[in-house]
Structure 1
Amino acid sequence: MTELDPVIHAQARLRVVATLSTLNDGDRIAFPRLQDLLAMTPGNLSVHLRKLEDAGYVEVTKTHRGRTPATLIRLSRRGRLAFEEYTEAIRTLLDPTQLDPTPSKEQQ
């Protein structure tokens, strides 16, 4: 049985990682934009980002745009790899025949 990454598997974190995975490698998204895309409250998004950051899956950068504080988020290389492994595990669960390309006697 394929193991699903429990850090990513929580619905809200899966939505965060899936959204961040659509960015080009190295691109960042502003916290308010991510919050809008996911329709999450700031507190809820912060909690899930912290969990993903603790796992090394996202990088959070706090900076300033002029005098205004800005929080930028991106998927780390480790996070991108974890998401690829997670999606492969889901595919395997949905279609176990992907594990062994040779058909069994029952499948022939």
Structure 2
Amino acid sequence: MSEHPMIVVHPAAEDVARQLGLAPRLPSLRGARLGLIDNSKHNADAFLHTLETILTRDYGIERVERYRKTSPSIPTPPEILARLAESCDALVHGVAD
């Protein structure tokens, strides 16, 4: 028997679910500032481009700020989320395949 103890760890992260409420609905998108997060999966950029075109043309979005993640498997950095929360009225996180 070995004199060195073996420690077995579970490789999965332990997420603790938090209950969050929805943000209040904007009265209108006209003049709003929209944030778009592209998760970098295939076709996410095409989806978000089409969404941006429609929301700008048909609903009067005034400004769009985009952020593209380097990998779909990593979370959006907290400083990016904070910046978008400060500078945007609405945010869409695009996921596609």
Q: Do they fold alike, i.e. is TM over 0.5? A: no
Question: Greater relative contact order (Cα 8 A, min sep 6): structure 1 or 2?
Answer: 2
Q: Please identify the structure whose Cα radius of gyration is greater.
A: 2
TM range (shorter): under 0.3
TM score, norm. by length of structure 1: 0.24
| TM-score, normalised relative to structure 2 | 0.26
